């Protein structure tokens, strides 16, 4: 059986599983549609959160970013996990106690203001839509790269599958499909990593292998990697190259951005009790850590593998001859993710940091994960599993984002602002239609991706960190915070962050309209991706000052804050 047929079978089987779950987990009420009827076991919710959280970027790109970023890329590892500590202690249990359906709904009720709710809806939609474009592109790329389908066709197949289980099952269908998708993606990620770690270090656990000695030389993996890449002129893997200030702020932006992303927060609305919301965040991090502890090992070992493939006898000897290239290198050369150019015509490819003499002219970071099974010489079904895993990561995140978008439209805009007397049945219908519209819109954006798609992830995290996280936090921990403070804080955080990003990446991401670059930023060494933490500080300060200069919130709002601080009585709060 050829690889293409195998890929089709494995991907087809996983898709059949998702559709099957959709039939089993249909939503019959708004509570089931928005929050899976609050009946999801905390461990299962943790698993679903893991799949929801880990996107195509985590699955495919992160190990490659670490492989080429070394120590500096640690910001991603700490940032994308540390946010869960904040969620577990500062947001999730209290929002679960609040017991309603959406994040803007909390902001609207707590700050007794439809304006605050509307700003929250706008922030949510910008953050989620920019994020979903990347997932849709990931689906299209996976199909076109592995299933001999056109990018457009692949994107449509993916969208139809998501539409099927998201429209039918809402949060309930999405949750249980995400559980299945988590299992698929973690197996697909771990198997090749185990074999690579075994072959390089003899240790079957990649996270331990990273700090072990190599089987061949008997020296630590990281030592060997440092030595060999520095001989080629690259920066040391374990040394810091970025400024401490920027790494610090980037890590913080990713942490509070993670805690402020609405599609992650709403996952904790689905568990039965407040205590479950706390432990579920722990389970989510356990399931996320299974991949995040493996990724740095995959990154370092794949980089070492690649260098040793290019220089089979070390950089002092001759480089690899073109006709001796292993099969996997030729495979990836065909996709264009790897490109060679024998500049000096000696029939060998020399890989150097120096652009002038480097002959491996393109080495895409994404191949570090995708080529893993072939590098480790694993059978075809493992390659097929990696394809299915990448699709599972992209689809599960897309579904979670689409859920957040459609519930903001149907519950916060239609039910709360446009037609408050809508019946539950009509709201459920409105939620399903919003879901379809959101899927259609994001598919269209995936088919006609704006040129700036890659940069917009910074925008999503920046907005979540600078606008949503601080006001939710203050809404819970400060009884004094009033609507004027919250609105002023959100706007200040949002605008400062968006303007800072636009100043560095161009106004509305139009190339050439930027006044600064990330290499030479406006403030100290703070790059645009790291500004979310600064925006959050601005939000806190403005909110504090404005709130203290204006009237304190009404008694019933202060009572609401009192009530969300204690778990008792969460069941009663469900009635809607």
Which stretch, 130-138, 240-248, 310-318, 342-350, contacts other proteins (CB under 8 A)? 240-248
Which stretch, 87-95, 118-126, 368-376, 446-454, contacts other proteins (CB under 8 A)? 87-95
Quickly list DSSP for 340-391.
Answer: ---TT-SSEE---SSTTT----EE-TTHHHHTHHHHTT--HHHHHHHHHHHH
**576 DSSP assignment:** -
**Contact track, other proteins, 185-214, x by CB under 8 A:** ----------------------x--xxxx-
Binding of other proteins at residue 217 (CB under 8 A)? no
Please count the other Cβ atoms lying within 10 Å of the Cβ belonging to residue 334: 8
**338 DSSP assignment:** E
Binding of other proteins at residue 293 (CB under 8 A)? yes
Binding of other proteins at residue 78 (CB under 8 A)? yes
Please count the other Cβ atoms lying within 10 Å of the Cβ belonging to residue 514: 17
Least distance in angstroms from the C-beta of 252 to other proteins: 8
Binding of other proteins at residue 562 (CB under 8 A)? yes
Nearer to other proteins, 312 or 569 (CB): 569
What is the C-alpha separation between 490 and 468, in angstroms, rounded? 7
Q: Are 135 and 58 in contact (CB under 8 A)?
A: no
Stretch 89-118 residues interacting with other proteins (CB under 8 A): 89-90, 93
Least distance in angstroms from the C-beta of 544 to other proteins: 18
- Among residues 160, 215, 219, 429, the one that binds other proteins under rule CB under 8 A: 219
SS3 state at 184: helix
Binding of other proteins at residue 68 (CB under 8 A)? no
What is the gyration radius of the CA atoms in the chain, in angstroms?
24
Least distance in angstroms from the C-beta of 366 to other proteins: 20
Nearer to other proteins, 99 or 173 (CB): 99
| 156: enclosing H helix or E strand | helix 151-201
Binding of other proteins at residue 81 (CB under 8 A)? yes
Binding of other proteins at residue 248 (CB under 8 A)? yes
- Among residues 9, 29, 41, 74, the one that binds other proteins under rule CB under 8 A: 74
Distance in Å from the first CA to the final CA of the chain? 55
**536 DSSP assignment:** H
Quickly list DSSP for 296-318.
Answer: HHHHHHHHHHHHHHHSTT-TTSP
Binding of other proteins at residue 506 (CB under 8 A)? no
Which stretch, 28-36, 189-197, 274-282, 448-456, contacts other proteins (CB under 8 A)? 274-282
Q: How many chain residues touch other proteins (CB under 8 A)?
A: 53
Binding of other proteins at residue 223 (CB under 8 A)? yes
- Among residues 15, 292, 306, 500, the one that binds other proteins under rule CB under 8 A: 292
Least distance in angstroms from the C-beta of 521 to other proteins: 19
Which stretch, 10-18, 85-93, 145-153, 318-326, contacts other proteins (CB under 8 A)? 85-93
What is the C-alpha separation between 204 and 185, in angstroms, rounded? 19
Phi/psi region, residue 38 (left: phi>0; alpha: psi -120 to 50; beta: rest), is left
Q: Are 55 and 136 in contact (CB under 8 A)?
A: no
Residues 226-235: contacts with CB under 8 Å, at least 24 apart: 228/304, 228/307, 228/308, 228/311, 228/314, 228/315, 229/303, 229/307, 229/353, 231/314, 231/315, 231/316, 232/307, 232/311, 232/315, 232/351, 232/352, 232/353, 233/352, 233/353, 233/354, 234/353, 235/70
- Among residues 16, 429, 440, 566, the one that binds other proteins under rule CB under 8 A: 566
**270 DSSP assignment:** S
Structure tokens at 511: 């190339």
SS3 state at 517: strand
- Among residues 43, 62, 77, 534, the one that binds other proteins under rule CB under 8 A: 77
Nearer to other proteins, 115 or 279 (CB): 279
Binding of other proteins at residue 530 (CB under 8 A)? no
Binding of other proteins at residue 216 (CB under 8 A)? no
- Among residues 21, 281, 301, 533, the one that binds other proteins under rule CB under 8 A: 281
Least distance in angstroms from the C-beta of 46 to other proteins: 10
Binding of other proteins at residue 137 (CB under 8 A)? no
Which residues here bind other proteins, judged by CB under 8 A? 66, 71, 74, 77-78, 81-82, 84-85, 88-90, 93, 207, 210-213, 219-224, 226, 238, 240, 244, 247-248, 251-252, 273-275, 278-279, 281-282, 285-286, 289, 292-293, 296, 562, 565-571
């Amino acid at each position: 059986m050829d690889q293409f047929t195998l890929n089709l079978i494995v991907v087809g089987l996983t898709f059949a599983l998702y559709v099957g779950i959709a039939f089993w987990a249909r939503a019959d009420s708004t509570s089931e549609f928005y929050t899976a009827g609050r009946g999801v076991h905390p461990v299962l919710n943790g698993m679903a959160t893991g799949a929801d959280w880990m996107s195509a970027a985590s699955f495919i790109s992160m190990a490659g970013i670490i492989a080429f970023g070394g120590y500096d890329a640690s910001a991603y590892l700490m940032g994308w996990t540390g946010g869960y500590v904040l969620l577990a202690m500062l947001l999730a249990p209290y929002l679960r106690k609040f017991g309603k359906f959406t994040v803007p709904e909390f902001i609207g009720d707590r700050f007794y203001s439809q304006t605050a709710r509307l700003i929250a809806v706008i922030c949510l939609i910008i953050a989620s839509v920019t994020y979903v474009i990347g997932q849709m592109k990931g689906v299209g790329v996976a199909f076109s790269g592995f299933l001999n389908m056109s990018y457009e066709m692949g994107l449509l197949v993916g969208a139809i599958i998501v539409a099927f289980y998201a429209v039918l099952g809402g949060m309930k269908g999405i949750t249980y499909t995400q559980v299945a998708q988590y299992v698929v993606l973690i197996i697909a990620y771990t198997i090749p990593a185990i074999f690579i770690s075994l072959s390089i270090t003899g240790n079957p656990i990649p996270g331990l292998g990273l700090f072990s000695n190599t089987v061949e030389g008997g020296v630590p993996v990281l030592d060997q990697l440092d030595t060999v890449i520095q001989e080629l002129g690259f920066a040391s893997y374990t040394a810091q190259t970025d400024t401490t200030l920027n790494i610090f702020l980037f890590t913080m932006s990713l942490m509070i951005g993670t805690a402020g992303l609405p599609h992650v927060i709403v996952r904790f609305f689905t568990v039965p009790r407040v205590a479950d919301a706390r432990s579920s965040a722990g389970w989510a991090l356990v399931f996320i850590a299974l991949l995040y502890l493996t990724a740095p090992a995959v990154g370092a070992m794949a980089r070492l593998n690649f260098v040793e493939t290019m220089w089979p006898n070390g950089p002092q000897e001759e480089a690899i001859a073109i006709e001796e290239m292993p099969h996997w290198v030729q495979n990836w050369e065909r996709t264009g993710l790897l490109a060679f150019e024998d500049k000096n015509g000696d029939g060998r490819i020399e890989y150097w940091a120096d652009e002038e003499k480097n002959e491996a002219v393109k080495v895409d970071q994404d191949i570090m994960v995708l080529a893993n099974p072939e590098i480790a010489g694993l059978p075809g079904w493992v390659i097929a599993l990696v394809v299915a895993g990448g699709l599972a990561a992209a689809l599960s995140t897309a579904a979670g984002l689409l859920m957040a978008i459609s519930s903001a439209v149907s519950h916060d805009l239609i039910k709360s602002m446009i037609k408050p007397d809508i019946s539950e049945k009509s709201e459920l219908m409105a939620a399903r239609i919003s879901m379809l519209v959101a899927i259609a819109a994001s598919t269209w954006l995936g088919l006609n991706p704006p040129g700036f798609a890659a940069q917009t992830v910074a925008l999503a995290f920046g907005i979540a960190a600078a606008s949503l996280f601080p006001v939710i936090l203050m809404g819970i921990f400060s009884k004094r915070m009033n609507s004027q403070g919250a609105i002023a804080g959100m706007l200040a955080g949002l605008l400062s962050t968006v303007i800072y990003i636009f100043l560095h990446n161009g106004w509305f991401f139009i190339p050439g309209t930027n006044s600064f670059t990330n290499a030479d930023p406006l403030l100290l060494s703070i790059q645009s991706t790291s500004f979310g933490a600064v925006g959050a500080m601005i939000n806190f300060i403005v909110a504090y000052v404005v709130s203290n200069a204006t009237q304190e919130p009404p008694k019933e709002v202060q009572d609401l804050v009192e009530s969300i601080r204690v778990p008792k009585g969460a069941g009663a709060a469900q009635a809607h």
